[in-house]
Amino acid sequence: MTRKDNILSRQNPILKVFISLFLVLVSSFISIDKFLIVFVFTFLYMIVSPNIYKNWLKTLVRIIPFFISLYILGIFLRISFPDQCYLSARIIHLLLISVYLIETTSVDSFVSGETCHNSKSWFKFKFFLAATVHFIPILIVKFKDNRKTHKNIIDIIVLSMEDCLNEIHEVEETIINKVEINNTERERSLWSDIYLSLLVIIPSFVVFININ
């Protein structure tokens, strides 16, 4: 599945961020038995987008040295092995949620959506955020190009900024086009947001049940 035809990508991006933060917060304070239930649920929740699992595993492989250092530090600090495993599980769970957000949410999706429900100032802020993200790679490219012909760092920065300003209209058109595409193709459905609500309902239910 591509990003735009996945039910996870059609979810309300702002709600998705807040619900994910809620899930991380809840998972940080519940007991180990309840945490494992939430972890398994979160893992199965992503089954509609298998690409998340692939990128999640790639991320875990990259941070293996971090886990090794963590366990070595735990030995010196005399932290019990079960506690170290519990901490590692929380980190792994956090990474899964992070990959979920990255893979199913774009900056442009924050700008698009129900603009009639957004104030003009809020929409302008979101548009500015998207424009900033688009400008960063352009600025990097211009900086590298100008560094080849100039040695003074001040001149390089000024010229790079001027080159970026010349592309303001192009960036603006790019964002507007992406917003229009998101509004017409993403078509956030009721079912996608209902599916999103499960990330609140199920963990909340797990928190309040008694596990013997």
Q: How many degrees, rounded to 5, is the angle at CA 60 between CA 59 and CA 62?
A: 65
Start-to-end CA span in the chain (Å): 40
Q: Judge whether residue 44 has pLDDT over 70.
A: yes
In sign, the C-alpha dihedral spanning 148, 150, 152, 154 is negative
Q: Check residue 183 and report its DSSP letter.
A: I
pLDDT of residue 127: 63
pLDDT of residue 57: 95
Alpha-carbon span 99 to 56, nearest angstrom: 6
Q: Where are the alpha helices (DSSP H) in the chain?
A: 13-27, 32-45, 50-62, 64-76, 81-104, 107-111, 120-149, 153-165, 168-181, 190-208
Those residues with Cβ within 8 angstroms of residue 5's Cβ, 6 or more apart along the chain or in another chain: none
DSSP string, 95-131: HHHHHHHHHH--HHHHHSS-GGGS-HHHHHHHHHHHH
Residue 36's SS3 state is: helix
- Give the global pTM: 0.68
- What are the C-alpha distances in Å from 185 to residues 7, 10, 106, 116, 142? 12, 9, 14, 18, 33
- Tens digit of each residue's pLDDT (9 = 90 or more) over 123-155: 566 666 666 666 667 777 777 787 777 777 777
Q: Judge whether residue 34 has pLDDT over 50.
A: yes
Q: Which of 56-65, 171-180, 192-201 has the highest mean pLDDT?
A: 56-65
- Tens digit of each residue's pLDDT (9 = 90 or more) over 71-126: 999 888 888 888 899 999 999 999 999 999 888 876 655 555 554 445 566 556 66
Ramachandran region of residue 187, left (φ > 0), alpha (ψ -120 to 50) or beta? left
